[in-house]
Amino acid sequence: MAQQWFRFTNPDERTMLIEEPHAHELLSANAWHLRGRDRDLLIDCGLGVTALTPMLREHFDREPVLVLTHAHLDHMGSAHEFTEVWAHPLEQVGNPAAGSLHGPILAAELGLNEPLPPLLLTALPHAGYQPAAYRVQPATVTRALTDGDVVDLGDRTLIVLHLPGHSPGSIALFDPADGTLFSGDVIYDGGLLDSLPGSDPEEYARSLRRLRDLPVRVIHAGHGPSFDRDRLHRLIDNYLQA
Ligand SMILES: [Zn+2]
């Protein structure tokens, strides 16, 4: 059983990284909490294996607006807990795929060929937890985000980039003032998934070419460690040349 289901760390003073270290690496996504003057933002929200909002209340004095980079289970699992949920209209937030914590079931749902372990958790969130009962809960989108929209935190603005390919409505958030990109699953330091239901490799390539031209300084991704622009270009070029 896990002592703490979520891990909170501070990459800088206005950013909190929230991880689920006991999820299999395929399902272990990054959620990013951004402190703003007028509102706080949470970018993605984990699997929903256990409630996230009570943990957030231990760290922060107000509920953030949840922005979903896309509607895969490891990014939107806790979305139903939030009042404000913003996402691209092409993502099935209100009718998500059921998902599963069992490797063979999830592999079949996602069309993955790689063998996955029977259970995609390395610990349980609490005694008596039933992984077989896991389903992704639908959530209600309260604001549709499309390309070029501005997400205003009062003292910080983020630009919405619609970058389809991994999923039809995948978005990233870009802070032009300091060059930070929150990329979701558009790009991360690992093998990119472009053959899931709803994926489109040609759109993916177009999205990555667009990203390559952006004046990005640091990338906080949907999975794995953060990285710089040189690494971004290396990852994009590796994909485009494959
Ligand atoms: Zn994804």
The single residue listed with the structure tokens 């997400």 is 151
**Amino acid (one-letter) located at 14:** R
Q: Which residues surround ligand 1, an ion (CB under 5 A)?
A: 72, 185
For residues 21 and 28, is the Cβ–Cβ distance under 8 A? yes
CA of 221 to the centre of ligand 1 (A): 11
β-pairing, 65-67 vs 31-34, is unpaired
CA of 146 to the centre of ligand 1 (A): 18
Domain 7-241 class, CATH top level: alpha beta
- pLDDT (tens digit, 0 to 9) for every residue of the chain, 242 residues total? 888 999 999 999 999 999 999 999 999 999 999 999 999 999 999 999 999 999 999 999 999 999 999 999 999 999 999 999 999 999 999 999 999 999 999 999 999 988 899 999 999 999 999 999 999 999 999 999 999 999 999 999 999 999 999 999 999 999 999 999 999 999 999 999 999 999 999 999 999 999 999 999 999 999 999 999 999 999 999 999 98
H, E, C per residue of 170-232: CEEEEECCCCEEEEECCCCCCCCCCCCCCCCHHHHHHHHHHHHCCCCCEEEECCCCCEEHHHH
